[in-house]
Homo-oligomer: A and B are copies of this chain.
Amino acid sequence: MPRRIKSKHQHVASLEAELLRRVRAHGGLSRVQLARDLKLAPSTAGIYVDRLVRAGFLIETENTGRETAGRPPTSLVPNPDGGRFIGVDFEARNLMATVVDFSQKPLRQVHKTLRPTDSAAQILAKIEEAIDEMTARDSRPVLGIGVGVPGAIDPVTNVAVHYDFIKGWSDVPLGARLGARFGVPVFLENNIRSMALAELWFGAGRGLRNFVCIGIRSGIAAGVVVNGHLLHGAQHRAGEIGHWVCPVPPELADGTPPRRNSEWRWQAGARLEQVASLSAIEAAAQRGLERKQETALADVKGEPTIDDVLAAAHNGDSFALSLVRAVGRVHGWVAHQVNELFNPEKIIFAGPLADLGDLFLAPVRETARELGDAGRDLAIVNSKLGQYNGAVGAAALALHQWKPKR
């Protein structure tokens, strides 16, 4: 007569889920290592592992040749055929989806382009379409769906509350809708937070207890991990640093070059999102062209897109580079402020800008270091997880919440 409504690890979905999580995060652990990791008695870990092996979710692997004395450990790995999970991540312009196996390995991914004019209904349809495409011709069961949603969400009711950049996007019952359509549990999370989860579980944040992930796309937001847990805030609105009131480097204010790196301006009400996001860069590039600025971007037909600007910067175009550097300095200021307030071990930048690497990160680091000597202990890096970062994080969200039925 199993009961298990509460457990010692109350803050945790269940001990089984926690064990699976550890095994996935750090494949090939032994019972004893798991016990140590989760602070369980070895006997307890043994009981649960056996249960999961018998249920077919874990596999005992061959103990490969070892050198040390003592009884060799039996390594445990997740059974890839334990089930599949789906992750979706989107914002104003792009929708990424992925399906992962039980060991968290991506099996397939799908990208769809969204238009700013797409309505909430159209976006919902595209989400369902993407999921259908990925699960077609594969009969293994889907166990859960995770969705990284832009803007505010309510993780209790699984409703997407609001997002500025999609019209009509408010109080969308995403959880109920997808749950009804696919018949599996659906988990919602704000998409920068699901990126942070991806970093925590298999990215630059692995093993860290305190870090901040800053996503720069149409908007700018931060996913904060405190003590190994996501920060949500009172109304699940934490991390909206896009609304921060920030200083503006001259290049971004009126296009004049700065006299010193530290020469910035203050504009009443300048928001980070309007100063240092991808759309802000596009706008600044366009202003530059109108000013007859000498740049390779002048050859682009139509208004230059963010991809044009980043490509130009990559090719050494000095105007494009000056924009990237100016935005980098702003984010250096952001990193400084975030560091002083949170004292994280690491700040991880994600998005196309961060994908430029040191071209973007150098001015960020330089400025952060200039502003605060406390930055010594702080690593500023970019996300290495690539475009599907958020989608994989969303899949992991579902994966990690899921627990075997009894």
Q: Which residues from chain B contact A114 at a C-beta distance below 8 Å?
A: none
Instruction: Tell me if A235 counts as interface (CB < 8 A to partner B).
Output: yes
Interface string of A216-248 (1 = CB under 8 A from B): 000000101011010111111111111111010
Closest CB of chain B to A353's CB: distance in Å? 20
Given contacts A244-B337, A374-B243, contact A234 B344 (CB under 8 A): yes
Q: Which residues from chain B contact A245 at a C-beta distance below 8 Å?
A: 247, 333, 336-337, 371
Given contacts A11-B11, A337-B244, contact A343 B235 (CB under 8 A): yes
Instruction: Tell me if A210 counts as interface (CB < 8 A to partner B).
Output: yes
Q: Which one of B39, B229, B269 lies within 8 Å of A10 (CB-CB)?
A: B39
Given contacts A39-B6, A210-B233, contact A341 B222 (CB under 8 A): yes
Contact of A240 with B345 in the complex, beta carbons under 8 Å: no
Q: Which one of B7, B9, B243, B344 lies within 8 Å of A233 (CB-CB)?
A: B344
Instruction: Please choose the segment from A54-62, A258-266, A290-298, A398-406 that sits at the chain B interface, where 4 or more of its residues have CB less than 8 A away.
Output: A258-266
Instruction: Tell me if A132 counts as interface (CB < 8 A to partner B).
Output: no
Cα distance, A405 to B8, chains bound together (Å): 23
Q: Which residues from chain B contact A266 at a C-beta distance below 8 Å?
A: 247, 264-266
Contact of A233 with B342 in the complex, beta carbons under 8 Å: yes
Instruction: Tell me if A377 counts as interface (CB < 8 A to partner B).
Output: yes
Closest CB of chain B to A62's CB: distance in Å? 33
Instruction: Tell me if A340 counts as interface (CB < 8 A to partner B).
Output: yes
Contact of B244 with A340 in the complex, beta carbons under 8 Å: yes
Closest CB of chain B to A239's CB: distance in Å? 7
Instruction: Tell me if A268 counts as interface (CB < 8 A to partner B).
Output: yes
A-B contact pairs, 9 of them (CB 8 A): A6-B8, A231-B342, A234-B344, A237-B374, A241-B341, A260-B268, A263-B268, A264-B268, A269-B371
